[in-house]
Amino acid sequence: MSEFEPKVVAFLCRWCASAGADLAGTSRLPYPPNAIPIRVNCSGRVEPQWVVEALKAGADGVLIGGCHPGDCHYVAGNYKTRRRVYLLRKVLAELGIESERVRLEWISATEGARFAQVMAEFVAALKRLGPLHGNGGAR
Amino acid sequence: MRAKLAVYWTGSCGGCDVSFLELGPGLLDVLSQVEIVFWPALVDAKRQDLERLPPRSIDITLVNGVLRTEENAEMVALLREKSRFLGAYGACAHLGGVPALANQGNGILEAVFGPGFRPAPPFPEAPEDTPPDLLPEALPLDEVVPVDFVVPGCPPPAGLIARFFEAALSGGLQPGQVFAEEKALCEECPRVREERRISRVLRPHEVLPDPEKCLLDQGMVCLGPVTRGGCEASCPKAGMPCTGCLGPTPKAGDPALALLSALASLVRAGEEGEAAFPEENRILDGLVDPIGTLYKYAFAKYGRPLRRLARRREEVRA
Amino acid sequence: MRRITIDPITRLEGHGKILIYLDEEGKLRDAILQVPELRGFEAFVRGRRAEEMPQITERICGVCPEAHHLASAKALDAAFGAEVPQPARLQRELFYNAYIFSDHLLHLVFLGGPDLLLPEDVGKAERNVLGVLQRFPELGRQVLEVRAQAQRILALIGGKAIHPVFALPGGVARPLPKEAQTEIAAIAARLVELGKTMIGVFHEEILPRPEYQSLLLAEEAWLPTHYMGLVDGSLAPNFYDGQVRVVSAQGEELFRLPGDQALGRIGEHWEPWTYVKFPYLRDFGWQGLRAGPDSGIYRVGPLARLNAAERMATPLAQEEYERFLDFFGEKPVHATFAYHWARLIEMVQAAETVALLAKDPALTGTEVRGKLGKPGEGVGVVEAARGTLFHHYVLSPEGLVERANLIVATTHNAPGIGLSVKEMARALVEKGKLDEALLNRVEMAFRAYDPCLACATHFLPGGVPVAVEVYDAHGNLLRRLEG
Ligand code: SF4
Ligand code: SF4
Ligand code: SF4
Ligand code: FES
C-alpha cells in the first residue's frame, strides 16, 4: 500500500496568504504538493459551510490562510474568521473529527517560506491523523 | 370525490398525530373532505391491507417520526409506492428531529438497560417475536424514499397545517413545496433586532431577558436568523430563543454552521485585535453543547454525514 | 404452542404489541405486552444543557409533553437547589391543570367516548368520535371548542400548546402578561361548565346502562394491585406537586414520601423480549408478572390517584368522588374500567383548580426566577394524566446532563396493562370463541389505561386497530379477527 497522501483544500486570501503561496512557488521552495488552493478575497469570506463541504467531499484537512492581525484589507475579516474557526473546531470535535484537520494561519505576501513550512507541518500532522475517509487515501 | 389520505408514524412522539386537533372545530371541515384509507391508529389497517392497494392509489400520505427501526424503513418504502404525493410531516420526518440526536453517540441499548441486554423472544419457540432491530442511525424520511413536500415544525403549527390542507384539498399541491416561509423567522418576530455586538453568550436560565429586544442581541443563542418563519415566532414571543423546529431557510443551508457563522460575527471583547483573542474565546466557550443547541432538530440531515465519517474511522480503529 | 398476536394495538412510548401464547390443549400459557421500539432518550440527553431538558424530554411523548416539561423543570429546580417564586409556581400549576383537563377530555370523548357514549350494538364503522358527534352534536361541538380553548391556555403560558417552552430551572421564562390572565380567567369558567355537563352526561347516558355496569364489575377486569399517586397535605390528589403516596392492595398506606425518596423504593426489572422496563416496589421485590397484595406491582393514573388519596381538592370533584365511592362500596377500587370515571372526576378537579388559580393576582407577578445554586442532582415528580412521572438527573458543574433516568406513567403501568390483557385473554380463551364483543373487551381493557400515545393515535374515526391472529401449534394462521 502506498503511503497515505492527505488531500488538503486551502482557502487563501488573495492579499496575503495566496500571494505568500505564489512566492513560495516562484522561490522554488520545496513543500508538499497536497493542497488544492482556492483563492478568496479575504479569509473573512470563508464560510464554515465551505470548510465542511470540502471535508465531506474528500479533503482530509482544510487550511485557511489569512492576513496577519492588523493587516486585513477589510479591517476585521481575519478576526471574524478566527472566531468562526474556533467554533467550527469545537463542533467538529463534538462530531468526533479531530479539530486539527482545520487550520487557520496568518501568512503575509512576503512569507513564502512560512507558507511552505505551514504546508509541511499540516501535511505531516494529517499523516499522523490518518485519512478522514477511511480508504487509506488510495484514491 | 374525496381525497384519499393516509397518515403513518414511524419513530414518533405522537405530537404530530395530535397536532391535527389543534385545528379545533375546523378539523370537522377537513374530515368531511377526505377519505382516510390508512392510518393505523384510526382504521384497522394492517400491512397486508396496504400491500393490497394498487400503486399510487393513495392521493396524499403524511409520514411523521424519525426512521429508527428496520420496519420503519420498509413501511415508508411501501407507502411511497402506494402514494401519489408523499410528504414529511413534522421535524422528525423532515430533518430527523430530536430523537436523531442519538446519532451523535452510541450504545443506546447499553445505556438504557445496562450492559448485557440483548433482545430475545419471550419463548424460544417464537423467535419471530424478538423485538425488531434498530437501524444503525436514526434517519429522516428523504434518506429512504423521495419526498414530495414538507409540513415542517415540531409539531407543525396549526396555521401551517391549515395552509397545507387548503392546498392539498384544492388539488394545489406542488412537488417540492415546504409549508413554511422562505424568509427567516426574525422577519415575523416582534422583538427589535439591532444586530448588536455580543459580549457574552447567555443560557436561557441565566438571565431574564428584556421583553422587547431581540434575544440574540441579548446574548442568547436564538436560531431565528437561520430558521424559516411560519410559527409567528412562538418561542421568542414567550421569552425563549427559537431552537429551529421549522428547519433552516433555503439561504441558511446547514443551520448550525450558518448560526455559528453569525455568532462569530457578533461576538466582541472590546477593541478587536490579538489582545482580545483570549477573551473572545472565553465568550465563545459560552456556547456549550453546540450539537444539541444548533442541530437540535436537524442533526440527522446536516450533522450526520461528518459524524458518519468519524464513526467509520472509530470502527476501523476498534 | 399457539400464538395470538394483537398487532398493532396502539403505541405505548412507541409501537405496542400484545402476544398471547396458548399451549397444545388450548390453555393460556402466557400473554404479554411487548414494546418493540426504543428511542433511547436517557442515552442521548447526556452532555446536553440542563435547561434544555424540559424541551428535549417532552419529545418523548407529544400527548403529554406538558408532564415531561414540568417533571423535568422540577428535577432541575432540585438539582440547582432553587426555590420557585410564587408567580412562576402559579404559572406552572395553572398550566398543568389546564393540561390535565385537556388531556382527560381528549380521552373521555375521543377515545373512551365511543365505547362509553354509544350503545353496544353500534357497528364498528360508527364506533368512533364521528359517531359520537352525530349522536351528540351539541356536546361534540362544545367539546371541540372548549378543548381548543384549554389548549389556548397552554399556549398563552407555555408559548406553544404541544411542546411548550416556558419552564426553566427555578422558574419560568417570563412574567405572564396581564391580558393573558384576563383571557385565561374567561376560559376557565367554560372549563368548569363543561365539567358539569360531562358529569350530567355520565350519570344520564352512561352509568345507568346495564352493560356498562357489568363492565365496571366484571371479574376479569378486577386487578388487585398497589396504587401510587401524588397527594397534598390534606391527602387530596395534586397533579403538579406533593408527596408520593402508595397504598397497598388492601388500602393501607405503604409510604408517603417526597419524590426523591419515593424513587428509591422503586426497582426496575427488564425482560429481553420487550424494550419497556417493569417497575416494582422494592419492599416486595420482583415476584414476576402477577398481581395481588404480596406482589410488587402497582398501578398509576386516575384510578390509582383516587385510591391513593382520601379526598378531592375541590368541591364539585369531591361530590362526584363520593358518588364514585358509594357505587363501589369499597376502597381501593380495583376495577380497571373505573379508570374512566376516575378520569372524569379528575378532569373536574383540574377545571376547578384552573378557575381558582386564574383569579390569583400573583399570577402575573414579575418575580419568575428563583436563585440558582450549583448544579447537582435532582428528582422531579408530577402526575401526568396517565400517572406518576419521575425525572432524575445528575448534572455536571457546568450544568450539563451527566446522567438521566426517567420513569414514565405508561412504564409504571406496563405490568398492570400486561396483567389486564392477560386476564382478558384468559377469559377470552376460556369462553372458547373469539367473537367481536370479547375482542372489543381486550381493546377496552387496554384503552382504560389510556396508554401514553394512545391519544395520539386513535382520536379520530375507528377504534383501536386491534387484530387478533390465532395460529395453530405449527404456526399456521387459523383465524383472523379484526376489531
Ligand atoms: S416532529 Fe416533534 S411532534 Fe412530531 S413526532 Fe417528532 S418530536 Fe413529536
Ligand atoms: S429574538 Fe430571535 S427570532 Fe426574534 S429577532 Fe432576535 S434572533 Fe430573530
Ligand atoms: S420559534 Fe423556532 S423553535 Fe419555536 S416554534 Fe417557531 S420555529 Fe419552532
Ligand atoms: S484581506 Fe486577507 S484576511 Fe482579510
Shortest CA gap B220–chain C (Å): 13
The predicted pLDDT at position C471 comes to 41
Q: How far apart are CA B229 and CA B185, in angstroms?
A: 4
Is C12 or C117 the better-scoring residue by pLDDT? C117
Report the domain count for chain B. 2
With an 8 Å Cβ cutoff, is C41 touching chain B?
Answer: yes
What number is the average pLDDT over the span C80-91?
A: 98
Taking only the tens place, the pLDDT of each residue in B148-167 is: 999 999 999 999 999 999 99
Taking only the tens place, the pLDDT of each residue in C277-336 is: 778 999 998 888 888 889 999 999 999 999 999 999 999 999 999 999 999 999 999 998
Which is the closest atom of ligand 3 to the Cα of B246? 7
Domain co-membership, B101 together with B192? no
Name the residue at shortest CA distance from atom 6 of ligand 2: B214
- Per DSSP, the three-state class of C453 is coil
Distance B199 CA to ligand 2 centre (A): 17
The predicted pLDDT at position C434 comes to 55
Is C386 or C312 the better-scoring residue by pLDDT? C312
The predicted pLDDT at position C15 comes to 55
- Residue B8 pairs in a beta bridge with B63
Q: Is the ipTM of this complex over 0.90?
A: yes
Read off the C-alpha cell for B40. Answer: 393505523
Q: Which of C271, C225, C269, C224 is CA-nearest to residue C19?
A: C271
**Which residues form the domain of B286?**
185-317
Is C395 or C35 the better-scoring residue by pLDDT? C395
Asked if the model's pLDDT at residue C443 lies above 70, the reply is no
pLDDT band at C213 (very low <50, low <70, confident <90, very high): confident
A39 conformational bin, left if phi > 0, alpha if psi -120 to 50, beta if neither: beta
Q: How far apart are CA A57 and CA C381, in angstroms?
A: 48
The predicted pLDDT at position B132 comes to 64
- DSSP assignment, residue B195? -
Domain co-membership, B168 together with B62? yes
Asked if the model's pLDDT at residue C209 lies above 50, the reply is yes
Is C481 or B57 the better-scoring residue by pLDDT? B57
Taking only the tens place, the pLDDT of each residue in C216-274 is: 888 878 899 999 999 999 999 999 999 999 999 999 999 999 999 998 899 888 776 66
Domain co-membership, B219 together with B140? no
Domain co-membership, B307 together with B263? yes
User: Does residue A20 belong to any structural domain of this protein?
Assistant: yes
With an 8 Å Cβ cutoff, is A45 touching chain B?
Answer: no
User: Does residue A43 belong to any structural domain of this protein?
Assistant: yes
Percent of chain B with pLDDT over 90: 67
**Given B160, B178, B196, which residue is the final one in a domain?**
B178
The predicted pLDDT at position C481 comes to 38
- Per DSSP, the three-state class of A35 is strand
Check which CATH number belongs to the domain holding B150 and give it.
3.40.50.700
Contact A51, A39 (CB under 8 A): no
Say yes or no: CB of residue B155 within 6 Å of ligand 1.
Answer: yes
Which is the closest atom of ligand 2 to the Cα of B186? 8
Asked if the model's pLDDT at residue B2 lies above 80, the reply is yes
Q: How far apart are CA B177 and CA B167, in angstroms?
A: 10
Which is the closest atom of ligand 1 to the Cα of B154? 2
pLDDT band at C275 (very low <50, low <70, confident <90, very high): low
Residue A124: count of CB within 10 angstroms of its CB? 12
Shortest CA gap C431–chain B (Å): 25
Asked if the model's pLDDT at residue A64 lies above 80, the reply is yes
The predicted pLDDT at position C268 comes to 81
Name the residue at shortest CA distance from atom 7 of ligand 1: C59
Which is the closest atom of ligand 2 to the Cα of B241? 2
Mutate to test the pocket of ligand 1, among B8, B18, B98 (most ligand atoms within 8 A of CB): B98
- Show residues of chain C in contact with B15, CB under 8 Å: 59, 61-63, 65, 162-163, 456
* A residues 64..123 contacting B (CB < 8 A): 69-70, 76, 79-84, 86-88, 90-92, 94-97
The predicted pLDDT at position B9 comes to 87
With an 8 Å Cβ cutoff, is A59 touching chain B?
Answer: no
Domain co-membership, B66 together with B208? no
What number is the average pLDDT over the span B15-32?
A: 86
- Residue C382 pairs in a beta bridge with C389
Say yes or no: CB of residue B65 within 6 Å of ligand 1.
Answer: yes
Shortest CA gap A98–chain B (Å): 9
Q: Count, in order, helices (H) and strands (E) of chain B.
A: 12, 7
DSSP symbols for C6-29: E-S---SSS--EEEEEE-TTS-EE
Taking only the tens place, the pLDDT of each residue in A79-95 is: 999 999 999 999 999 99
- In chain A, whose CA is at the least distance from the CA of B308? A95
Domains, chain C: 2-37+413-482 (no CATH), 84-168+175-220+335-369 (1.10.645.10)
Which range is most confident: B22-31, B92-101, C399-408? B92-101
Q: Which of C339, C336, C343 is CA-nearest to residue C217?
A: C336
Is C300 or C2 the better-scoring residue by pLDDT? C300
Domain co-membership, B198 together with B173? no
Distance C168 CA to ligand 2 centre (A): 19
- Flag if B208 and C399 touch (Cβ within 8 Å): no
Q: How far is CA A40 from CA A45, A77, B26, B63, C343, in A?
A: 7, 12, 54, 43, 66
- Flag if B257 and A88 touch (Cβ within 8 Å): yes
Shortest CA gap C465–chain B (Å): 4
Domain co-membership, B168 together with B40? yes
Taking only the tens place, the pLDDT of each residue in B65-76 is: 999 888 889 999
Percent of chain C with pLDDT over 70: 79
Domain co-membership, B29 together with B169? yes
Report the domain count for chain A. 1
Asked if the model's pLDDT at residue C139 lies above 90, the reply is no
Distance B156 CA to ligand 1 centre (A): 9
DSSP symbols for C33-75: EE------HHHHTTTSBGGGHHHHHGGG-SSSHHHHHHHHHHH
Q: How far apart are CA B125 and CA B310, in angstroms?
A: 40
User: Does residue A138 belong to any structural domain of this protein?
Assistant: no
The predicted pLDDT at position B136 comes to 80
Domain co-membership, B88 together with B192? no
Asked if the model's pLDDT at residue C113 lies above 90, the reply is no
Q: For B113-122, B262-271, C404-413, which range has the lowest pLDDT when averaged over its residues?
A: B113-122
Q: How far apart are CA C48 and CA C401, in angstroms?
A: 6
Q: How far apart are CA B119 and CA C34, in angstroms?
A: 11
Which range is most confident: B34-43, B192-201, B308-317, C264-273? B192-201
Contact B247, B152 (CB under 8 A): yes
Contact C73, C169 (CB under 8 A): yes
Residue B303: count of CB within 10 angstroms of its CB? 27
Domain co-membership, B234 together with B307? yes
The amino acid present at C138, given as its one-letter code, is E
Cα end-to-end span (Å), chain A: 12
Asked if the model's pLDDT at residue A136 lies above 90, the reply is no
pLDDT band at C354 (very low <50, low <70, confident <90, very high): very high
Q: How far apart are CA C332 and CA C339, in angstroms?
A: 12
Domain co-membership, B213 together with B139? no
Q: Which helix (H) or strand (E) holds C244?
A: strand C243-247
The predicted pLDDT at position C473 comes to 42
Distance C85 CA to ligand 1 centre (A): 31
Distance C59 CA to ligand 1 centre (A): 6
- Mutation target vs A (from B306, B307, B316; most A CBs, 10 A cutoff): B306
* Residue in this structure with the C-alpha cell 396502539, named with its chain if needed: C10
**Which residues form the domain of A18?**
10-128
Mean pLDDT over all residues of chain C? 83
Radius of gyration, alpha carbons of chain C:
22
Taking only the tens place, the pLDDT of each residue in C185-202 is: 999 999 999 999 999 989
Q: How far apart are CA B317 and CA B311, in angstroms?
A: 10
Q: For B186-195, B280-289, C140-149, which range has the lowest pLDDT when averaged over its residues?
A: C140-149
pLDDT band at B196 (very low <50, low <70, confident <90, very high): confident
**Given B156, B178, B200, which residue is the final one in a domain?**
B178
Shortest CA gap B253–chain C (Å): 23
Domain co-membership, B84 together with B211? no
- Closest partner residue to B287 (CB to CB) among A55, A69, A87 is A87
Which range is most confident: B44-48, C24-28, C106-110, C249-253? C249-253
* CB contact set of B138 (below 8 Å; sequence gap of 6+): B11, B66, B67, B68, B96, B99, B100, B102, B103, B300, C39
Q: Which of C295, C385, C374 is CA-nearest to residue C349?
A: C385
Q: Count, in order, helices (H) and strands (E) of chain A.
A: 4, 4
Q: Which of C94, C96, C42 is CA-nearest to residue C66?
A: C96
